[in-house]
Amino acid sequence: MDLKEKLISSFWGLDNGIEVDDYINDMRGDAIKIFEASGFPSKKQEAWKYTSLNTLVKRDYALESPSETSIDFNLVKKYFLHDLDSYAIVFIDGKYSAHLSKTTHDGMDICLLSAALTKPKFKAVIENYFNKAASNDSLASLNTAFASEGAFVHIPKHKAVEKPIQIIHFSTGSNAAMLLQPRNLIIADENAHVQIIERHQSFTNHPVFTNSVTEIFGDKRSVIDYYKVQNDFEEASLIDHTFIKQEKDSNCSVHTFSFGGKLIRNNLNFTQNGEHINSTLKGITIIGNKQHVDHSTMVNHNAPNCESHQDYKGIFGDQATGVFNGRILVDQVAQKTNAFQANNNILLSDNATINTKPQLEIFADDVKCSHGCTIGQLDEDALFYMRSRGIPKKEAQALLTYAFANNVLETVKIPELKQRINKLIANKLGVNIGFHL
């Protein structure tokens, strides 16, 4: 039985202990039918032309988490921003860890998706938002079919969350190979402000395949800052779908830091549904060996007087492969749109590969839109100059690489996170340089 058949068979025998109403059950049934008809995406599809899932889907994954999910805090604490006062929603092998988490219902809801799916007081919210942004492509639909646990964040009107929220998904490697499907639902009501940090982390080199979906809704004048830290073991693979719907005068940014994993695919989809919206998409990728990172972005400009800004930097060494496929779609009514897109890459090895395809589709005539990409190597003149001043070659390369990526880091609003990313970059570059904020 291949993985697709195993998943379909498992769905119809699904009993996860969470009873939901017919609305959710019908949605799940429709979703598994979409996956059954479409299956896993292949390189024959234009959107997946440079990313193959063949090696992932051939494995025999465990679809159920181990019954025991407790874990020593000393093992996991280095993955938290422990110098940052924050809320935390933590999962181990797909199950909630109460002793590692810090949730609240005091004036806002920072808790579990399973609670929102099952408690009557959340019924109206779930029916208004759950699965209302996610697309019906095969992998997002697969997640919808099995969605039962993840983070649920609902920030009410005029509420500014005083501290960030950390959402962390741990995989223990208890099974030889595991498939996880977390689902997150983030809602910021009118004029609400929230900062969220998300991380998926394994503890062993046992293969883990995570198919994650996050839906984010930003109401009028809301401000949402979302940060993704991807620095996993080399046998961990992540397909991450993030769908964002914004309303008038809202501001939403997503920063993605991809430093490790076997295969990472980030599907990031913004939809603007009102005027004076600002959408920011930024990312830094630094990988080596035979790692593969694919960023697929889409910004739908559906209203006038809006902006979007995309800036992705990639550094690829050894036999690593990078993919960037960015689309900007400007509807006919979206006059006065200001959209910028850039993908700049450095190849540190002759065997590294980057496939980049920035795209503009414009149906309005009064817009400012630009896109572009670059692929090159480190500036030899600058490298020579630094070495002539006594800086060793490795450190000089690291400084130039850091300078190349720094404009993405400049817009990170959480100092403790910026410091952590600085350290991760230094580790990836193999130097002990102290990068200052």
- Report pLDDT digits (tens) over 88-147: 999 999 999 998 999 999 999 999 999 999 899 999 999 999 999 999 899 999 999 998
Query: What digits encode the pLDDT tens for the residues 323-374?
Result: 999 999 999 999 999 999 999 999 999 999 999 999 999 999 999 999 999 9
Instruction: Please count the structural domains in the chain.
Output: 2
Give the dihedral of Cα atoms 212, 26, 177, 353; nearest 10 deg.
Answer: -40
Q: Cα(251)–Cα(249) distance, rounded to whole angstroms? A: 7
Query: What digits encode the pLDDT tens for the residues 146-155?
Result: 988 999 999 9
Q: Is residue 127 part of a domain?
A: yes
Query: What digits encode the pLDDT tens for the residues 185-231?
Result: 999 999 999 999 999 999 888 899 999 999 999 999 999 999 999 99
Least confidently predicted of 30-34, 145-149, 238-242, 358-362: 145-149
User: Which of 273, 299, 322 is the endpoint of a domain?
Assistant: 273
Residues 262 and 397 in one domain: no
Residues 105 and 254 in one domain: yes
Model pLDDT, residue 437? 42
Residues 50 and 193 in one domain: yes
The boundaries of the domain holding residue 72 are 3-273
Quote the pTM value: 0.94
User: Which of 273, 304, 326 is the endpoint of a domain?
Assistant: 273
Q: Is residue 29 part of a domain?
A: yes
319-334 burial, b at 16+ Cβ within 10 Å, e below that, comes to ebbbbbbbbbbbbeeb
Residues 187 and 57 in one domain: yes
* 379-406: average pLDDT: 84
User: Which of 235, 250, 273 is the endpoint of a domain?
Assistant: 273
Q: Is residue 425 part of a domain?
A: yes
Residues 25 and 167 in one domain: yes
Least confidently predicted of 3-7, 34-38, 91-95, 384-388: 384-388
